[in-house]
Amino acid sequence: MHRLSSYLSVALLALLLSSCGQAVTPQQSKNIALNYAKDSIPADLRKYSQATFAAGCFWHEETLFESIKGVVHGISGYAGGTTQNPTYESIETGTTGHAETVNIYYDSSKISYYKLLQVYFESQEDPTQVNGQGPDNGTQYRSIIFYRNAQEMAMAKQYIDRLNKSGKYSKPIAAEVVPYTTFWRAEDYHQHYIDHNTENPYVQNVSIRDIARFQATHPEMIKPGHSFAAAK
């Protein structure tokens, strides 16, 4: 589902969410997003560990991970397909094999890969949803863990196995676990999109709602001034 064509359904969803106390106001969202915009990006990212995940819209995946203590930077992009130099327009057709993806740089002395997996799964609206998350549907929104070594692969598969055996879900976890190959950086206007576009109906009523849901559950993991849940 293209985001621009989903605003009507998003607006209806907003009415429901506001009655449940699950939506922050536009001004509150804007104030919090300013803190993200002020975050400095390390000059040399090569000294940090990397993790690469896909789980629906990369706008809120990027922002969510950048709110986590120990994560120093996130980049929105495309991975999982075979097409060279994919663009947003091309991957939105669902024919390139790529998914909207975030590449995370993190300080492994402050947060572990296992903790990042926790953020990844617990922040999803429905980790059993195949080819999509929430209102975003299609292979370009499927859930994927791109592992870089055997240890990451083992941890991801063990985490999924534990979730499947927990009895919490009636369907199996949908995330694919595949080796990391190539990450294509998305267009500039997608980078830190939420920081500068909190007035976007999709951002306000879907992205921020999903981010806040996780932040409210794990306040100890969130950087000061970066919690949308704190504005409620």
Q: What is the CATH number of the domain that holds 53?
A: 3.30.1060.10
Predicted local distance difference test score (pLDDT) of residue 8 = 41
pLDDT of residue 96: 95
The pTM assigned to this predicted structure is 0.89
For residue 77, the SS3 value is strand
Q: What average pLDDT score do residues 7-34 get? A: 60
Q: Is residue 232 part of a domain?
A: no
Is 8 a domain residue? yes
User: Would you name the residues annotated as active-site residues?
Assistant: 57
- Structural domain total, the chain: 1
- pLDDT beyond 80 at 3: no
Domain containing 154: what range? 3-224
pLDDT at 20 over 90: no
**Cα–Cα dist 177/167, whole Å:** 21
Domain assignment of residue 231, yes or no: no
* Residue 229 covered by a domain: no
The pLDDT score that the predictor gives to residue 15 is 38
Predicted local confidence at residue 25, as pLDDT: 82
The answer to whether residue 111 is domain-embedded is yes
pLDDT at 200 over 90: yes
Taking the C-alpha atoms of residue 140 and residue 115, their distance in angstroms, rounded to an integer, is 25
